[in-house]
Amino acid sequence: MVGYAFMGAAHSQAWRTVNRVYDLPAQVRMTMLCGRDAAKVADAAGRLGWAAHTTDWRHLVASDEVDVVDICTPGDSHAEIALAALAAGKHVLCEKPLANTVAEARSMAAAAAVAQASGARSMCGFNYRRVPAVAMMRRLVAEGRLGVIRHVRAAYLQDWIVDPQFPLVWRLQRDRAGSGALGDVGAHIIDLTQFVTGQRITGVSAVTETFVKERPLPAQSHGLAAHAADGVAPVDGRGPVPVDGQGPATGPVTVDDAAVFVARLDGGALATYEASRFATGRKNSLRVEINGSLGTVAFDLERLNELEFYDATRPTAEQGFTRILMTEQEHPYMSAWWPPGHLIGYEHTFTHQARDFVEAVATGVDPTPSFADGLQVQLVLDAVTRSAELGSLWAQVEPTLAAVPA
């Protein structure tokens, strides 16, 4: 695994757990962890359960002891690491968004298609697909329980950078992160809604905003939030530098703080999306609602074990939203966990992701979401950016097919 902070810790928890929970056709060995700081990566390897560590991801990719490369770094290094790993015949799990640019994502999807022919599998890490309630939403839509899908509403709201004194970490720099709230949390709801409905976004009209345009440069020793770093150096290793005695130096925020857009889906549905890291009081609020001709289904991450379902085919006197507690053995992913009524949490989504990935690789099946799926989300992010730059003008989402050779 490359990267060991927020996502690295979540993925490590999953790799440690997956074989103890699920009966899988392959056994996971946590062979090697990579990070830039020798002392920190050594400490992380011990805490997270990795057998060895390195400061050079090329060493990890070249190792005969490594079969799978898990990429948990900032987006600016995804393409380079993934392309090298696929060329070396490794299976690859890469965190979302797949890359920082469409060009990088296209190269990754094309390389994945070539590697697939020789048995190397790849997957983009959209963990919210693995929430049992979300998988159940998809099942209800696929079974026709909602009828014709007409409306999609999705919002992902956080507030961790509301304070204008929060430092200029890598997630606030376009060259490192690709985009701001749009790619960080917006990518999740784009993928999630397309996954649940089985429909793809074809066009968008968008607005974005950066509310705080300058932020203090972070000190190397600054205790950043879990979001802030993934085993990488801060913007300025010297820490905040006084400017003429006026206080710490600042740097420009080059990504969006919030993005709002409307969209059309290829099945005819209309959709609205909101992604923000400036929604004061919202720590990690993700909500999706799907309205169809025969019913509605809604999910709220703050009630992760529940699903709301309205069945319009029932007699009028019996209609109303039903709360489904997603803890039964027949619910997606739940057969390996606890008795009904006993809840699971955020970290379980990564265990489910690891289960699906290991099972696919071990049985020679292509895991999902694929790099081609990750590219498709990247194309939507690109269309949103283009629309916002053009003053909310309608922007078509480019086709994915051109990315992957037949």
Tell me the mean pLDDT in the region 116-144: 98
pLDDT per position as a tens digit, 50-65: 999 999 999 999 999 9
For 338, the domain range is: 130-345
For residue 398, how many C-alpha atoms fall within 13 Å in the half-sphere facing its CB?
A: 19
Q: Give percent of the chain above pLDDT 90.
A: 90
The full length of the chain comes to: 406
Query: Does 191 score more than 80 pLDDT?
Result: yes
Residue 25 within a domain:
no
Q: What is the pLDDT of residue 261?
A: 98
Q: Please state, rounded to an integer, the average pLDDT across all residues of the chain.
A: 92
**Neighbouring-strand partners of residue 53:** 33
Residue 162 within a domain:
yes
Query: Does 20 score more than 80 pLDDT?
Result: yes
Q: What is the pLDDT of residue 219?
A: 79
For residue 38, how many C-alpha atoms fall within 13 Å in the half-sphere facing its CB?
A: 0
Query: Does 95 score more than 70 pLDDT?
Result: yes
Tell me the mean pLDDT in the region 248-276: 97
What is the pLDDT confidence band of residue 67, given thresholds at 50, 70 and 90?
Answer: very high
Tell me the mean pLDDT in the region 106-122: 97
Q: What is the pLDDT of residue 233?
A: 33
Query: Does 394 score more than 90 pLDDT?
Result: yes
Q: What is the pLDDT of residue 268?
A: 97
Contact 354, 28 (CB under 8 A): yes
Q: What is the pLDDT of residue 5?
A: 93
Beta strands in 232-340 (DSSP E): 250-252, 258-265, 270-276, 285-292, 295-300, 306-311, 322-325
Residue whose structure tokens are 């909310």 = 392
Beta strands in 62-219 (DSSP E): 68-71, 91-95, 122-125, 149-157, 201-209, 214-216
Tell me the mean pLDDT in the region 117-126: 97
- The CATH number that applies at residue 227 is 3.30.360.10
Q: What is the pLDDT of residue 225?
A: 39
pLDDT per position as a tens digit, 69-82: 999 999 999 999 99
Residue 237 within a domain:
yes
What is the pLDDT confidence band of residue 31, given thresholds at 50, 70 and 90?
Answer: very high
Residue 375 within a domain:
no
Residue 217 within a domain:
yes
**Which ranges constitute the DSSP H helices of 22-53?**
38-48
Instruction: Give the number of other Cβ atoms within 10 Å of residue 136's Cβ.
Output: 22
Residue 218 within a domain:
yes
pLDDT per position as a tens digit, 170-183: 999 999 999 999 99
Tell me the mean pLDDT in the region 188-204: 98
pLDDT per position as a tens digit, 209-250: 999 999 999 875 333 333 443 333 333 333 344 444 456 799
Domains of the chain: total? 1
Q: What is the pLDDT of residue 400?
A: 81
Q: Please give the structure tokens belonging to residue 299.
A: 């999910």
Four-CA torsion 54, 58, 63, 66, nearest 10 degrees: 80
Backbone angles phi, psi at 378, to 5 degrees: -60, -40
Tell me the mean pLDDT in the region 10-18: 98
Q: What is the pLDDT of residue 220?
A: 54
Contact 109, 266 (CB under 8 A): no
Q: Give percent of the chain above pLDDT 70.
A: 91
Residue 381 within a domain:
no
Residue 368 within a domain:
no
Tell me the mean pLDDT in the region 306-322: 97
